[in-house]
Amino acid sequence: MGISRGARALLTVGTVTGTVVEVAWLAAHVASYPFGVVQEKARHIEDPFTLDGLKPIQRGLLINDVEAAGTPILLLHGMVDNRSIFTLLRRQLRRRGFGRVTTMNYKIWTSDVRTAAKQLGATIEAICEQTGYERIHVVGHSMGGLIARYYVQRLGGDARVHTIVTLGTPHRGTHAARLVPTGVCRQLVPGSEVLDELDEPAPTCQTRFVCFWSDIDALITPKQSARLDHPDLSARNILVRGVGHLSLPIHRRIVHEIVSTLAHLDSDGATVTPGVTRLAPSPAQDGLRARLRPNRRVSAS
């Protein structure tokens, strides 16, 4: 009878709908995957500080907060994937008025989160140099979020990353990684050396986190492992129901939350607009605020 109740709990309308969407998106992603294999070409990132040709929704963000509209956003994919996973999210971010949205591919056969984090750091430095902004935002899907977190916690990247949004990231590891006990999967198993490093104190880390996790994410076991619970980090964990692992970057509520958060942050990372869920510093960060130099986002002229 217990099994029967468990089966009924899984077969809810939301779960079935989420599974159907996941399968459909998987098929679409497989078709688009080849187009994302090649690294995005380095190019001049357009100057977003013009209203010419912009739709009203884009003009709104640019008029209300020119810094938010211009702050670069870097999208970082997960394991055995590429930038094509962000095709729809990138389009939506640009549609909402964010003028500098770019992607990065790391090697799909990477065997070390640390190595990928160093590559991420080099890419971010190049973006900051090109745009004139001191800090950017990063959106990481699955392992991409873990790579970004390692960069800010262990490699000093919090000086360059204002906010990290993670989508189905195994912050506490996932038992599903045991199915492939080689390469980088060994670093995703709960209790791995990399995850132990990330559990260490990080009282000076200034980066804010917004972490989405789902109740039907088949690649994260247990599901709560996609939450970020660290005493020194400022993190808001958001549960989304009935959303599969691959569907996280395209879910309407998630896109809305990302836009709302990134459009209403002050320079030290806290949300400041009434009606927007507050993203505050952790107690450890709050105690250091007076001693930390403000990291103002300054646009290039």
What tens digit of pLDDT does each residue of 166-217 get? 999 999 999 999 998 778 999 999 999 999 999 999 999 999 999 999 999 9
Of all residues in the chain, the percent with pLDDT exceeding 90 is: 50
Which of 195, 198, 179 is closest to 187 using CA atoms?
195
Q: Which pTM value belongs to this model?
A: 0.79
Give the other-Cβ count within 10 Å of 198's Cβ.
Answer: 20
- Check residue 32 and give its pLDDT: 58
Phi then psi dihedrals of residue 214, to 5 deg: -125, 150
- Check residue 87 and give its pLDDT: 87
The two three-digit tokens of residue 130, written as one number = 């090109």
**Domain ranges for the chain:** 2-38+48-291
* pLDDT range class, residue 265, cuts 50, 70, 90: low
- Check residue 70 and give its pLDDT: 83
Report for 59-63, 91-95, 238-242: range of highest mean pLDDT: 238-242
Q: What is the CATH number of domain 2-38+48-291?
A: 3.40.50.1820
Phi then psi dihedrals of residue 15, to 5 deg: -65, -45
Reduced to 3 states, what is the DSSP secondary structure of residue 148? helix
Element (H, E) at 73: strand 73-76
Query: Taking residues 105-128, what's their average pLDDT?
Result: 91
Largest CA distance in the chain: 68
Of 62-71, 80-89, 246-255, 275-284, least confident by mean pLDDT is 275-284
* pLDDT range class, residue 42, cuts 50, 70, 90: low
The two three-digit tokens of residue 117, written as one number = 């984090």
- Check residue 296 and give its pLDDT: 37
* CA 174 to chain CA mean position, Å: 18
The two three-digit tokens of residue 206, written as one number = 């200034």
**pLDDT value at 18 more than 60:** yes
Question: Could you write out the DSSP letters of every residue in 15-64?
Answer: HHHHHHHHHHHHHHHHHHGGGGSSPPPP-PPP-----TT--HHHHHHHHH
